[in-house]
């Protein structure tokens, strides 16, 4: 193998891993959004998952 | 349980501490999760945001989907953080918080009391702090004390919060005295939700309470 071969393989594996994680995140988001729409709302209000209550 | 969550550390089996950025406080703050049998207890939980969020919610989805009981304990109302989002996503979640007077809702959510006599899951107990609306949380099986605003992690140790954070009729000395029963506990670690855990938790707690009363 030419010089730098292992590094190239490592970099490719990292890119592949990032791609897998990105797909997992997107799939989770889609499922989560669909599920949230179907779920009864809390006291008539939807609460976003990034809602933060309180000052600290 | 939170192994995929950024900035989450399992301090010992079943006891997790993680940090997340608080958009109002504009600093990272700490939260705690206890996983014990059928129970998952979250103390002052702040869900990670953006790309870091999905692993956190996935972990709770898995727990809820497996039929585990979720409980949120809020040390002080200002630390409600992600409690409304959690109860919205998992409606069976019970939230415990100490509220002044006869209020029984927090941000529009029905909540349960958080008193020293309140039975809590996973070997958790609440202790009074000298503030009517704040409790220190003792996780017995892990010999861990979790504190909200009343004790801060500062310079490798602990400090009772500044006088300006306390109600008018409560001094730092009052708080120092009121927290003394905690020294009777067999403390392995203290986890402040603001600041880093001290290396020598018991000594740091003793020092902080003595300093507040001096």
Which pLDDT tens digit goes with each residue over B44-70? 999 999 889 999 999 999 999 999 999
Q: Is the pLDDT of residue A1 over 60?
A: no
Which pLDDT tens digit goes with each residue over B6-18? 999 999 999 999 9
- B75 backbone dihedrals φ, ψ, rounded to 5°: -65, -35
For residue B117, what are the CA distances in angstroms to B105, B113, B124, B126? 19, 9, 11, 8
ipTM of the assembly? 0.91
Q: What is the pLDDT of residue A37?
A: 52
Q: Cβ contact (<8 Å) for A49 and B53? A: yes
Report domain extents, chain B: 8-213
pLDDT confidence bin for A40, thresholds 50/70/90: very low
* CA pair distance B49, B35, nearest whole angstrom: 22
Q: Is the pLDDT of residue A38 over 70?
A: no
Q: How close, in Å, is residue B81 to chain A by CA atoms? A: 5
- When CB atoms are compared, the residue of B22, B87, B91 closest to A56 is B22
Which pLDDT tens digit goes with each residue over A13-31? 777 777 777 776 676 666 6
Which is more confident, B80 or A13?
B80
- B33 backbone dihedrals φ, ψ, rounded to 5°: -130, 135
pTM: 0.86
DSSP-assigned states of every residue in A2-48:
-TTHHHHHHHHHHHHHHHHHHHHHHHHHHHHHHHHHHSPPBTTB---
* CA pair distance B127, B104, nearest whole angstrom: 19
Q: Is the pLDDT of residue A34 over 70?
A: no
- Is some CB atom of chain B closer than 8 A to the CB atom of A54? yes
Least confident of B14-23, B99-108, B114-123, B135-144: B99-108
Q: What is the pLDDT of residue B36?
A: 98
Q: Which helix (H) or strand (E) holds B40?
A: strand B39-43
Q: What is the pLDDT of residue B23?
A: 96
* CA pair distance A4, A1, nearest whole angstrom: 8
Q: Cβ contact (<8 Å) for B108 and A43? A: yes
Which is more confident, B157 or B101?
B157
Closest CA to B196 of B34, B44, B30, B81: B30
Q: Provide the chain B residues 118-147 that lie in CB contact (below 8 A) with chain A.
A: none
CATH class of B8-213: alpha beta
Structure tokens of A14? 């990292």
Q: Which residues of A touch B24 (CB under 8 A)?
A: 52, 54-56
List the beta strands (DSSP E) in B23-128. 27-36, 39-43, 69-74, 94-97, 105-106, 109-110, 124-128
């Amino acid at each position: 193998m030419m010089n730098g071969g292992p590094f190239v393989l490592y970099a490719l594996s990292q890119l592949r891993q990032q791609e897998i994680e990105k797909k997992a995140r997107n799939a989770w988001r889609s499922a989560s959004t669909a599920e949230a729409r179907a779920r009864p709302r809390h006291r008539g209000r939807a609460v976003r998952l990034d809602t933060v209550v309180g000052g600290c | 349980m939170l192994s995929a969550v950024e900035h989450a550390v399992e301090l010992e089996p079943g006891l997790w501490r993680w940090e997340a950025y608080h958009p109002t406080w504009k600093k990272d703050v700490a939260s705690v999760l206890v996983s014990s049998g059928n129970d998952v207890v979250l103390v002052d939980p702040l869900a990670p945001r953006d790309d870091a969020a999905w692993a956190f919610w996935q972990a709770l989805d898995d727990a809820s989907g497996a039929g585990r009981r979720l409980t949120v304990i809020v040390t002080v109302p200002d630390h409600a953080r992600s409690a409304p989002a959690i109860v919205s996503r998992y409606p069976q979640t019970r939230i415990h918080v100490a509220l002044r007077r006869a209020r029984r809702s927090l941000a529009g959510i029905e909540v349960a009391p958080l008193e020293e006599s309140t039975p809590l899951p996973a070997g958790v107990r609440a202790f009074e702090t000298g503030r009517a609306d704040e409790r220190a949380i003792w996780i017995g099986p892990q010999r861990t004390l979790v504190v909200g605003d009343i004790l801060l992690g500062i310079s490798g140790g602990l400090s009772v919060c500044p006088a300006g954070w306390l109600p008018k009729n409560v001094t730092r000395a009052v708080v120092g005295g009121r927290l003394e029963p905690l020294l009777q506990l067999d403390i392995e670690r203290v986890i402040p939700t603001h600041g880093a855990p001290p290396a020598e938790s018991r000594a740091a707690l003793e020092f902080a309470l003595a300093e507040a009363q001096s």
